[in-house]
Structure 1
Amino acid sequence: MVFYGSKASKLKEGQLINVKCPNCIGGQTMHYAIYGKYAYVYWIPLFPIGKTYVLECNHCKRTYNLKELPEQIKQKFELEKTGVRFPLWYFSGLIIITLAILVATYLSKKDDENDTLYINNPRIGDVYSVKASQTGYYTSMKVITVTSDSIYVIFNDYEIDRKSKIYKINKTENYTTELDGYSKQEIKTLFEQEYIYEVDRD
């Protein structure tokens, strides 16, 4: 099944009067239609890709493309197609993509702000996602105790090869090692150096 391609919809139609059909000579009026073409993915319009003009003699029913007609008819038609624009829904896909990018950017910025806030104000239960410097893998450590100047954590017994998948090993039963202590300044430095790259707080 094809989920992408192009489609067309009618933007405007009308009549040209006092024009001579090149085919039958007797025709004095022509019906015209202006179609807009747009690209789509999964039936969602992404962006316009052009316009098509079709003219038909009301007498002999001969259909013409605009380029096939005499200059006089072209000039009359120019007045008719002036101001015909693509509707906003032709840009639905681009609008959705733009909104998704804006939302993702906002959420990412908000996460960064929260991480900084949590690092500066640690709480028991905070989980720090960290890069294991020796192996290049990723693990986590959980805050167990917070004093006026220090933080005590226990490390996760497991590591994982993708930083975005740290949640898979963040389980209570995986924290069995002894306490390890850091000064609050050391924790801030590790965060600034991106050794600690994310803070999860319930």
Structure 2
Amino acid sequence: MIIWGIRKYSIYTDIDHGIQCPHCSDKEEGVELEVSRKHLRIFWIPTLAFRKKLSLRCLNCGSKIKLKSLRDSEQVRLMNLKGKHRAPLWQFSGLFVLAIFIAIMIPVIQNSNAADLEKIKNPEMGYYLRYRVPGGGYSSYYIESVSKDTVLLRPLELSSRKMTRLYQIEKLENHSDSLIYWSKSDLLQEYTDGSIYGIRVD
């Protein structure tokens, strides 16, 4: 299960006494400025960042102030202020974790694919060949026997709508007694085309 959520992180805050509130006309108390950014958090780690936001709040009347309600010169000054302040690197720590994870997983996946290809080229009795069912779903073949050029398969009589749930029905007693004969070259072609996507070895 993946735990995720969205949280706002403050980048910069200040009190500006140069802005007159368009609601109460006060200028002495000042206006609270905040530059913030929302992040997608995965397992509480900030990962993906959304667009920065500038928030204005009058400290006298508490009203939120829209940037468009201010004079053009103030709008330009505040937009420059917003662009000047950037989020600290720790707010992107999830991206670094993700990059490290991908760097670790790439060789693992490559080695796994190489191992599967070797099993396809040299199949053995007892292998489960997992394949995509045309129209949707996942199922498997059980290798009953192997000769010099031919592979004898028992198809699974059931299919799973989810790849991750296939193991729940992938049992020998659920495979048909009807046998399918494939040449080893056909088996390799099915794997190359992506119809067969994985191999389970007990």
TM bracket, shorter-chain basis: 0.5 to 0.7
**Measured at CA, do residues 75 and 198 of structure 1 come closer, stay the same or move farther in structure 2, by a change above 3 Å?**
closer
44, 48, 60: which one aligns with 2:50: 48
Give, in whole Å, the separation in 1 of the partners of 2:7 and 2:190: 54
**Measured at CA, do residues 175 and 33 of structure 1 come closer, stay the same or move farther in structure 2, by a change above 3 Å?**
closer
Indicate conservation of the 8 Å contact 2:138/2:160, yes or no.
Answer: yes
Partner residue in 1 for 2:143:
142
> After superposition, where does 1:86-97 map in structure 2 within 5 Å?
86-87=87-88, 95=95
TM-score (norm 1): 0.54
Indicate conservation of the 8 Å contact 1:6/1:37, yes or no.
Answer: no
Indicate conservation of the 8 Å contact 1:36/1:48, yes or no.
Answer: no
Deviations 1:19-53 (A, max 9, x none): 4757357x4x8454214253768996654244133
TM-score (norm 2): 0.54
RMSD of Structure 2 on Structure 1 (CA): 5.1
Partner residue in 2 for 1:153:
152
Shift of 1:119: 0.8
**Measured at CA, do residues 68 and 5 of structure 1 come closer, stay the same or move farther in structure 2, by a change above 3 Å?**
farther
Question: Identical aligned pairs, as a percentage?
Answer: 19
> After superposition, where does 1:5-154 map in structure 2 within 5 Å?
8-16=8-16, 19=18, 21=20, 23=25, 27=28, 30-38=30-38, 47-54=49-56, 56=58, 61=60, 65=65, 66-70=67-71, 73-74=74-75, 77=78, 80-87=81-88, 95=95, 106=106, 112-129=113-130, 138-145=139-146, 149-153=148-152
**Measured at CA, do residues 124 and 139 of structure 1 come closer, stay the same or move farther in structure 2, by a change above 3 Å?**
closer
State the number of aligned residues: 185
